[in-house]
Amino acid sequence: MQLPDAEQLIATLAEAMRPQVSPDTALVGIHTGGVWLAQRLHALLGLSQPLGSIDVSFYRDDYAAKGLHPRPQGSKLPFDVEGTPVIIVDDVLYTGRTTRAALNELF
């Protein structure tokens, strides 16, 4: 089995996003896997807003149930979210639980 070409996938994703973003669009990567994806997309898209990162571990409602212990990374939002188009980036999308937690942190 041949693995997909990660470089080609990220380039394809950036090109698909390009018509939907403007220079003032902000990207926020979710720790841990979404941050490196957001870094790559931020560079490929040439966005002017600084890159943000967010740790949602305290907002996840399933950590205790799964026996997971959050290791806080800290959140960094170096821009005002009010009136700013924000794209949240994560490496896995399944139930939407992490995205909901990120929205709680942002707003």
pLDDT reading at 15 higher than 60: yes
C-alpha span between 91 and 34 (Å, rounded): 5
> Is the Cβ–Cβ distance between 52 and 77 less than 8 Å?
yes
Domains of the chain are 6-106 (3.40.50.2020)
Gyration radius (Cα) of the chain, Å:
15
> Is the Cβ–Cβ distance between 84 and 107 less than 8 Å?
no
The model's pLDDT over 57-77, given as tens digits with 9 standing for 90+, comes to 665 555 555 555 556 677 899
pTM of the prediction?
Answer: 0.78
